[in-house]
Structure 1
Amino acid sequence: MTIGFHCSHELFPPDRLLDLARRAERAGFHAAMCSDHFNPWTERQGESGFAWSWLGAAMQATSLPFGVVNAPGQRYHPAIVAQAAATLSLMFPGRFWVALGTGQNLNEHITGDPWPPKDRRRARLRESVDVIRALWAGETVNHDGLVRLRDARLYTRPETPPPIYGAALTPETAEWVGSWADGLITVSGPRDAQCKIIDAFRRGGGAGKPVAEQVALSWADTEAEALRAARRNWPVAAVDLGKNQDLPLPSDFDRETAHLSPEGMADLIRVSSDLDRHAEWLRADSELGVDAVYLHPVGPDPASFIDAFADRVLPALG
């Protein structure tokens, strides 16, 4: 199982994030991925660097393979996503993948366009995927639908286009994603819920395709410190999935989580001061058939997390 490092643009400015990516590679992490936000989830997080320019720097500064989670169709026209991904794939062959999803109003509302209902967002994503693949194939694309193109053609393309993963948080979405994606990316959760998502993906057409998981976790010297940091840095884990997709402002997420206690985080993400416990969680991921796990540290000190996991957790996984 590949163990990667998740680079959170919401939590760190891009220069600090670049240092962390370098540190993760030196420590022995196998891969990396990053978020793609216009806004942070909360005002306290306070950062929101531009993912695509940062990816060029990070892939030049390291030899790691990288991925990014992106929502084409509103804030990004799919032709621009196709062009950006093609350029990175040409410069760094075999090292880039993109995960496509329906996105959150938090980031997409800035265009001033209405936030569509879920079924329309899903249809828009499916059109965008087809458009992106056609452009990577060298076609001249004209399309009228939920996205529109006129005489669009990519002149700079990699010999092998990057894989497209589908982002899914529910079994229903995972089953649909299995019909068109090259792989699945989801987030960690209770084992039963994870089994249902992975099984649905495979049932929907994803059998034999890779499964990746983003794991939010908090580690510190003490349990109390780990819980406090999780509450401070990642309260979004407590927000209902529907609200997660529909709330428009960081202040809305602050309001939704105002009464969340540090102790409440223990049921939402992986929180432990015990490195052996974190290794156990990762072994369980492997048993589920997860091919790649991207660790997303939301604890008090990401540099100490990298060093501690490199020293104790990665070796324990073989």
Structure 2
Amino acid sequence: MMRIGFHASHEQISPRQLLADVQHAERAGFQMAMCSDHLFPWSSQQGHSGYTWAWLGAALATTDLTFGCVSAPGQRYHPAVHAQKIATLGQMFPGRFWVALGSGENMNEHVTGDRWPTKEVRTRRLEECVDVIGRLLDGEEVTHDGLVTVDRARVWERADPRPLLVGPATSVASAARVARWADGLVTLNQPLDTLRELLAAYREAGGAGTASLQVHLSWAPTEEDAEAIAHEQWRSNVFPEPVNWDTDTPEAFDLIGEHVGPETVRQHVRVSSDLGQHRAWLQEYAELGFDDLYLHFVGQEQERFLDVFGEQVLPQLQ
């Protein structure tokens, strides 16, 4: 049966408010949650970026939800440090935490001062990190010399069960590639044909586990307000690769976002004041074969969205 979760956007909401929001989401009937892991927001209009890993401990301790996190090892985070964080949350909250390991964005990683690698090098670095993290979670002592260097690392706290290492993918090619190592798949809402091909590529390459979809949406009582929220908050998030990977500051995203109109935002965010339309969109994703949907209302004030969707959308879909 399809499950519906809440996406906690650290770039848009302060960690204190976001903790209250995810607790509210549980009361409203959302079954799980996932979050981002940024050092910078996508734009100055968003204006936040709390430390995800501290927040996750508080969120797991004050709800009964399962949580996932999309995070990038290899530059800002050494894979041994990453493994220790994953194992600690997994040990404290057994079976309730997973992490999607991605290759990252320059905006969050350039702070180390290291050169931002090409996409292929970043992907190979990620695959090395996944191997290191997995071995550390299994209790091995790891030494590794490659695109990352590890010297006799060991994680002393073991999580049972081992947290799932999920593969994030936004293209057909990347879905097939992460299938080599991933315990599940997570992606973003895109045209239905693209999502169908992406899912097929993952499964045909041997990808197992749960297929999850993060759905960007905007709802308000009027169509004008729903559109205004989406345009104000999410116009800096509509750019394809390599712009989204390589742009290095929120100010740069703000500049290029000035040229993005509401119609372009609608191609990336499900915008409607009609709850029936939102239900229909979500049902389409379920029929494609996604097991879990994580709803990301792109506004900054979550309370009304949580209450209305909890009462009038979730019950009809679950």
Fold-level similarity (TM above 0.5): yes
Taking the aligned partners of 1:36 and 1:116, their CA distance within structure 2 comes to 20
Give per-residue Cα distances to partners, 1:136-175, cap 9 Å, x unaligned: 1111111000111111111111122100101111000000
Taking the aligned partners of 1:87 and 1:162, their CA distance within structure 2 comes to 10
Q: TM-score, normalised by structure 2?
A: 0.98
Structure 2 match to 1:197: 198
Superposed, 1:22-61 pairs within 5 Å as 22-61=23-62
Structure 2 match to 1:148: 149
Give the partner amino acid of 2:277. Answer: R
Structure 2 match to 1:270: 270
Q: CA deviation at 1:300?
A: 6.0
Structure 1 match to 2:6: 5
Q: CA deviation at 1:42?
A: 0.5
Specify every segment of 5 or more residues in structure 1 that has no aligned partner in the other structure, as ranges.
none
Taking the aligned partners of 1:145 and 1:209, their CA distance within structure 2 comes to 29
Structure 2 match to 1:311: 311
Taking the aligned partners of 1:197 and 1:52, their CA distance within structure 2 comes to 29
Q: CA deviation at 1:269?
A: 1.2
Give per-residue Cα distances to partners, 1:14-73, cap 9 Å, x unaligned: 000000000000010000011000000011111000000000000001010000000000
Give per-residue Cα distances to partners, 1:250-289, cap 9 Å, x unaligned: 0111111102222332222100000111111111111011
Structure 1 match to 2:85: 84
Give the partner amino acid of 2:254. Answer: D
Give the partner amino acid of 1:229. Answer: I
Give the partner amino acid of 1:236. Answer: S
Taking the aligned partners of 1:235 and 1:177, their CA distance within structure 2 comes to 28
Tell me the secondary structure at the aligned position of residue 241 of structure 1.
Answer: coil
Give the partner amino acid of 1:70. Answer: S
Contact 1:226 1:300 in 2 (8 A): no
Do residues 232 (structure 1) and 232 (structure 2) align?
A: yes
Give the partner amino acid of 2:35. Answer: C
Contact 1:239 1:253 in 2 (8 A): no
Structure 2 match to 1:261: 261
Structure 1 match to 2:280: 280
**Structure 1 300/136 Cα, relative in aligned 2: closer, same or farther at 3 Å?**
closer
Give the partner amino acid of 1:93. Answer: P
Q: CA deviation at 1:209?
A: 2.1
What fraction of aligned residue pairs are identical, expressed as a percent?
50
Taking the aligned partners of 2:9 and 2:47, their CA distance within structure 1 comes to 12
Q: CA deviation at 1:299?
A: 3.1
Taking the aligned partners of 1:111 and 1:132, their CA distance within structure 2 comes to 21
Taking the aligned partners of 2:231 and 2:168, their CA distance within structure 1 comes to 25
Q: CA deviation at 1:77?
A: 0.4
Taking the aligned partners of 2:47 and 2:269, their CA distance within structure 1 comes to 21
Contact 2:188 2:213 in 1 (8 A): yes
Contact 1:127 1:146 in 2 (8 A): yes
Taking the aligned partners of 2:263 and 2:301, their CA distance within structure 1 comes to 19
Taking the aligned partners of 1:193 and 1:33, their CA distance within structure 2 comes to 23
Taking the aligned partners of 1:251 and 1:80, their CA distance within structure 2 comes to 30
Taking the aligned partners of 1:213 and 1:159, their CA distance within structure 2 comes to 26
Tell me the secondary structure at the aligned position of residue 167 of structure 2.
Answer: strand
**Structure 1 300/115 Cα, relative in aligned 2: closer, same or farther at 3 Å?**
closer
Q: TM-score, normalised by structure 1?
A: 0.98
Runs of at least 4 residues off by over 3 Å: none
Do residues 111 (structure 1) and 112 (structure 2) align?
A: yes
Taking the aligned partners of 1:237 and 1:224, their CA distance within structure 2 comes to 20
Give the partner amino acid of 1:111. Answer: T
Taking the aligned partners of 1:251 and 1:197, their CA distance within structure 2 comes to 32
Give per-residue Cα distances to partners, 1:189-243, cap 9 Å, x unaligned: 110111111111111111x421001111100011111111001111133212210
**Structure 1 300/111 Cα, relative in aligned 2: closer, same or farther at 3 Å?**
closer
Structure 2 match to 1:249: 249
Contact 1:99 1:166 in 2 (8 A): yes
Tell me the secondary structure at the aligned position of residue 10 of structure 2.
Answer: coil
Tell me the secondary structure at the aligned position of residue 65 of structure 2.
Answer: coil
* Bigger Cα displacement from structure 2, 287-296 vs 263-272: 263-272
Give the partner amino acid of 2:120. Answer: D
